[in-house]
Structure 1
Amino acid sequence: MEKAKFGVLTVSDRASKGEYEDISGKYIIEYLQEVVSSPFEIIYRVVPDEKDIIEGALIHMSDVEKCCLVLTTGGTGPAPRDVTPEATETVCQKILPGFGELMRQVSLQQVPTAILSRQTAGIRNSTLIINLPGKPQSIKICLDAVFPAIPYCIDLIGGPYITTREERIKAFRPQK
């Protein structure tokens, strides 16, 4: 079985300067280890809230590292320095708005400020890029909602076959 590569990209001015520990990116890695049963490796980076740097990291993870999935955390709010969705939209050939719609829907059941989130997702070549919020509890809520569709999406864009620990998350694939 082909080993998948997953990119985890934390977007944070302070974490990129080492001013505080990147808890969110590390949580995403733990989540993937808990949910994915097929072999994979992680490509991990922390970058500042700079659109061109985020774009460069996304392009590198997609085109050079050949990640089939890149999960970003941070930079999805309304603040002036929050530019992760813009960077994602710039580097992707196709935008998949359903991911953001579902993540906001499930997040709204927890907090009214979820409407401020601008998470999105898209496809760059054979990489699925998904923007996640910045807090571990919010990341869990969002990933639990969208992860069932991720393995099939990766199938459709020519990536490796991803399996999940079904007692935790059941991947959905249409019956043939």
Structure 2
Amino acid sequence: MRAAIFTIDSGAYKAKAESAAASALKRMLEQVGLEVKAAGLLPQEREVVSSVMRQLSDSGSVELILTTGATGYMEGDCAPDALSDVAECMLPGIPEALRAYNLRYSKKAVLDRMAAGIRKGTLIINLPESAKTAKEDMEYILPEVVQVVENINL
């Protein structure tokens, strides 16, 4: 399975900084045998994020796109909106399960707007900005992620 990972953070994008969350996810995915074809930063601009998701999905170059960050309710938090712009099928159970899982640590998890959906054989999932939480969330749902990707690409 081929994946792409993007952190959505305008400040880090402008500073050309490293993303701890993307790095943690990349290591974790590679350890379980997934190939990370792209990883990087994107500005908090809905049109840019949706364009990248659309391009990667439509090209067939990856079967999984993970984003970290920009899942809250503040201005600029556009990851779930960008995903809903491009998804052909939303998968509300994934973010619902992750929010419930994250409530173990913080009641603030109820404020997260993570989303998940499918576009042209590509599963797209928004994850939190925290490297620790994003990695733990992905580990929690990895078997289901693999199953979804295998099923939509039969």
Q: 1: CA distance between counterparts of 2:35 and 2:135?
A: 19
Query: In the alignment, is the contact (CA less than 8 A) between 1:66 and 1:127 conserved in 2?
Result: no
| Structure with the higher fraction of residues in helix conformation | 2
**More off after superposition, 126-135 vs 18-27:** 18-27
Identity of aligned residues (%): 29
User: Which residue is equivalent to 1:52?
Assistant: 47
Q: 2: CA distance between counterparts of 1:110 and 1:11?
A: 23
Q: Is there any run of 5+ residues in structure 2 with no aligned partner, and where?
A: none
Q: How many residues align?
A: 154
1:129 aligns with 2:124: yes
Counterpart amino acid of residue 132 in structure 1 = L
- Aligned counterpart for 2:84 among listed residues 89, 107, 112: 89
Counterpart amino acid of residue 41 in structure 2 = V
Query: In the alignment, is the contact (CA less than 8 A) between 2:20 and 2:131 conserved in 1?
Result: yes
SS at 1:17's partner residue?
helix
User: Which residue is equivalent to 2:103?
Assistant: 108
Q: Is there any run of 5+ residues in structure 1 with no aligned partner, and where?
A: 160-176
TM-score, normalisation: structure 2: 0.94
User: Which residue is equivalent to 2:143?
Assistant: 148
- Residue-by-residue CA offset, 1:55-81 (whole Å, 9 max, x unaligned): 011112212252100000011011111
List, as ranges, runs of 4+ consecutive aligned residues in structure 1 with deviation greater than 4 Å: none
User: Which residue is equivalent to 2:11?
Assistant: 14
- Aligned counterpart for 2:22 among listed residues 21, 25, 31: 25
**More off after superposition, 141-150 vs 50-59:** 141-150
Post-superposition offset of 1:23: 1.3
Q: 2: CA distance between counterparts of 1:65 and 1:11?
A: 22
Post-superposition offset of 1:20: 3.7
SS at 2:39's partner residue?
strand
SS at 1:81's partner residue?
coil
Q: 1: CA distance between counterparts of 2:18 and 2:139?
A: 24
TM-score, normalisation: structure 1: 0.82
Q: CA RMSD in A?
A: 1.4
- Residue-by-residue CA offset, 1:129-150 (whole Å, 9 max, x unaligned): 0000000111122112211101
**More off after superposition, 61-70 vs 122-131:** 61-70
